[in-house]
Amino acid sequence: MNILSLFDGMSCGRIAAERAGIKVDNYYASELDKYAIQVTQANWPNTVQLGDVTKWREWDIDWSSIDLLIGGSPCQGFSFAGKQLAFDDPRSALFFEYLNILNHIKSVNPDVKFMLENVKMKKEYLDVISNLLGVEPVLINSSLVSAQNRQRYYWANWEFIVPNDTGVCWGDIRENNAPECHYYTAKGLAWINRHSERTGKKLRIWPNNGKCQMLEASMFKNYSGQRFFAVDDIKGLRYISLLECERAQTVPDNYTNHVSNTQRYKMLGNGWTVDVIAHIFESLTTLGSV
């Protein structure tokens, strides 16, 4: 297949295609973050980087050759955790660039397949996207195939079902005796205690037989209200390691080990749970589309 990935990030879609058994002839990626591009090119050097999605009319590609369009347009405007500006947020308004590109490809290749991912959102926003794409989404929690709770909507113009629960738990992916740099310092623990007293919020320690919370781009911050959890390890309490973030997103171990730790946390928080995408792609193979 020839795949065009918008808002590509670190190319989780490329990993998923391989995992689903799809032979990729050409993988075109639209991404601006230089660190995510660096990780992609380190792992998939033949990726064709196209740049800014808003300049798609300038791209020198054969649009009729695109078999699959994928993307997860920025979600900040839709997320319940944000201000919910929806399409008034310029980041979430980039959905319309995805739509414009999809419609352009359809005009030269009516058989093109597409998949869009986004966060849980108000029904009114959901309905706008669904009506414009002409398909209804499927809500999937990554916890079914990974050790992470992460609910996302997936729109596609082929049929697929929610995956079976694989039973993966936090204990299956955690590191024991993680690197020293991941442990909370005395100063950090003091902040945690103050935050707990001020908010009445108890520090959550993830049990081995449970799930970790949804990864976020802010995971690089050592101490914050969003990051109010701990892993109980040999040397004491710590936060999630980079290897654990990769495993929570079902990304290969050390896949992101080409940039700084801060950038790795950010892109993993922004990334896809690969095994969810691979599951959706596998339905394409049963349809005979690949």
Give 123-150 as a 3 state SS string.
HHHHHHHHHHHCCCCEEEEHHHCCCECC
Looking at every residue in the chain, the average pLDDT score rounds to 90
State the average pLDDT over residues 238-265. 96
Between 3-7, 139-143, 224-228, the lowest mean confidence (pLDDT) is in: 224-228
Query: Taking 80 as the threshold, does the pLDDT of residue 288 lie above it?
Result: no
What is the pLDDT at residue 34?
Answer: 98
Query: Does residue 77 contact residue 87 with C-beta atoms inside 8 Å?
Result: yes
pLDDT in tens, 18-73: 999 999 999 999 999 999 999 999 999 999 999 999 999 999 999 999 999 999 98
pLDDT in tens, 134-154: 999 999 999 999 999 999 999
Beta strands in the chain (DSSP E): 2-6, 26-30, 48-49, 68-71, 113-119, 138-141, 151-156, 204-205, 229-233, 236-238
Sign of the Cα torsion 278, 161, 169, 70 reads: positive
